[in-house]
Structure 1
């Protein structure tokens, strides 16, 4: 009976993960191995590394903070976010609107092993580094956060202000 229950739970989980898409398709938080998806979002679009005009260094801290935690960007600017995890815990940086970050954080709480394959997300292991290249082609106030369960809730967030 236990094996049957486990099989049904596995089947239900697989169906749910398939329904919510490739962002939750498997364990880990690996970046995609294929071409970057260039889909327009409310906060911009995946950038071309050749178009990078500025690199912003971001340090991820086990105190559940980013340094810096506020970034000013010009409309149309392509930024390379170069993250360094200075801690002993895994962290991630996800760019988005407050609503999208809240939504994704809730999903991460339910499925902590979600795999990220979006170009505005990067998982960075302890003492490791990672990059995101992003073009901010929409003005507004956006955010970035570590959505690993507990980190977002502890205040591991930052702000991005995009102005003309």
Structure 2
């Protein structure tokens, strides 16, 4: 009986965390973009775009290209194409942030989230990220769908 109570408490705690995480990242309809400075840059508007980079995602769990060079201050429009038959996403961040998020996605594969540095793309469709790289450094992008990150669906961005 004690074990059942403990397991129920753990389940409630995880459910609350999952909902809070989902609620925190969900974009509400008709809500203006709310850009927040991240370690790897900040969201931007279409009128700020310096250039467009096409990123293709495949069911081989790879991005093409896998490595990007960006100049400090550039605003990039990522045209994110899912050439596969399963859902993929592109999420920009640092390795520790992506590691943590990937772990959450394994535990909650249907978790909803939507941030300016993410594009969740259905098979055969195209998504978009508009991101200003206003910090120098080496950053990552990845597909955090359950199992994809673990299979090596990761890319690198160097901002000089």
TM-score by length of 2: 0.87
Superposed CA RMSD: 2.1
1:39 aligns with 2:40: no
Q: Give the match for residue 53 of structure 2.
A: 56
Report runs of 4+ in structure 1 exceeding 6 Å deviation.
7-10
- Which residue in 2 is equivalent to 1:121? 118
Change (3 A) 1:96 1:22: same
| Cα distance in 1, alignment partners of residues 28 and 120 from structure 2 | 11
The Cα shift of 1:116 comes to: 1.3
**Separation of aligned partners in 1, 2:42 and 2:129:** 11
Q: Which residue of 1 aligns with 2:148?
A: 151
TM-score between both structures, scaled by the size of structure 1? 0.85
Q: CA deviation at 1:36?
A: 1.7
- Tell me the secondary structure at the aligned position of residue 133 of structure 1: strand
CA distance in 2, matches of 1:100, 1:119: 15
Match of 1:66 among 60, 63, 66: 63
The whole-number CA distance in structure 1 between the counterparts of 2:22 and 2:84 is: 30
**1:94-152, Cα deviation, whole Å (9 max, x unpaired):** 00001100010011111111111211011000001000000000000000000001100
Measured after TM superposition, the shift of residue 23 of structure 1 is: 4.4
Which of 93, 101, 109 is equivalent to 1:112?
109
CA distance, structure 1, for counterparts of residue 115 and residue 68 of structure 2 = 21
